[in-house]
Chain A
Amino acid sequence: MKGKKKDYILLKIATILIIFIFIFIAQRSFDAYIIRILNLCGIYVILGVSLNLINGFTGQFSLGHAGFMAIGAYVSALLYTSPEIKEVNYFITPLIWPLNIIQIPFIFSLIMAGLVSAGVGFLVGAPCLRLKGDYLAIVTFGFSEIIRVLFCNLQNITNGPLGLKGLPSYTNLWWTWGIAIFTVWFIKNLINSSYGRALKSIREDEVAAEAMGVKLFYHKVLSFIVGAFFAGIAGALLGSLVMTIDPNTFSFSMTFQIIIIVVVGGLGSITGTVIVAAIFAILMEVLRSVESPMSLFGLNIPGIPGMRMLLFSILLMIVVLFFHQGLMGTKEWSWEWLYKKLMGNKKEIEEGS
Chain B
Amino acid sequence: MSILKADHITIRFGGLTAVSDFYLDLKEGELVGLIGPNGAGKTTVFNMLTGVYKPTIGKIYFNNQEINIKKVSEITALGMARTFQNIRLFTNLSVIDNVMVGCHLRLKSSVINAVFYLPKYVQEESEITEEAMKLLKEVNLEKLESNLAGGLPYGQQRKLEIARALATRPRLLLLDEPAAGMNPQETKDLMSFILKIQEKFKLTIILIEHDMKVIMGICKRILVLDYGKTIAEGNPIEIQHNPEVIKAYLGVEAHYA
> Which A residues fall within an 8 A CB radius of B?
2, 186, 189-190, 193-195, 197-198, 200-201, 204-205, 207-216, 222, 268, 330
Contact = CB atoms under 8 A, between A and B. Distances in A.
Interface stretch (B16-24, B30-38, B61-69, B112-120): B112-120
B89 A2 contact: no
B48 interface: no
A330 B92 contact: yes
A193 B114 contact: yes
Given A213-B168, A215-B73, A194 B89 contact: no
Interface string B74-111: 00110001101000111111001100111111010001
B100 A195 contact: no
A204 B148 CA distance: 12
Contacts of A200: 90, 92-93, 97
15 contacts: A2-B145, A190-B115, A193-B114, A193-B125, A194-B114, A197-B97, A208-B88, A209-B90, A211-B81, A212-B168, A213-B168, A214-B105, A215-B71, A216-B73, A222-B111
Contacts of B76: 210-213
Contacts of B90: 200-201, 204-205, 208-209
Interface of B: 50, 52, 71-73, 76-77, 81-82, 84, 88-93, 96-97, 100-105, 107, 111, 114-117, 121, 124-125, 128-129, 133, 145-146, 164-165, 167-168
B75 to A, nearest CB: 9
A198 B90 CA distance: 10
B101 A212 contact: yes
Given A193-B125, A205-B90, A268-B92, A212 B81 contact: yes
A189 B104 contact: no
Given A212-B164, A213-B105, A214-B73, A204 B114 contact: no
Contacts of B92: 200, 204, 268, 330
B73 A204 contact: no
Contacts of B107: 194-195
B128 A194 contact: yes
Given A189-B116, A198-B101, A208 B111 contact: no
A330 B102 CA distance: 22
A210 B47 CA distance: 12
Given A198-B104, A204-B93, A214-B73, A193 B52 contact: no
B115 A193 contact: yes
Nearest to A219: B104
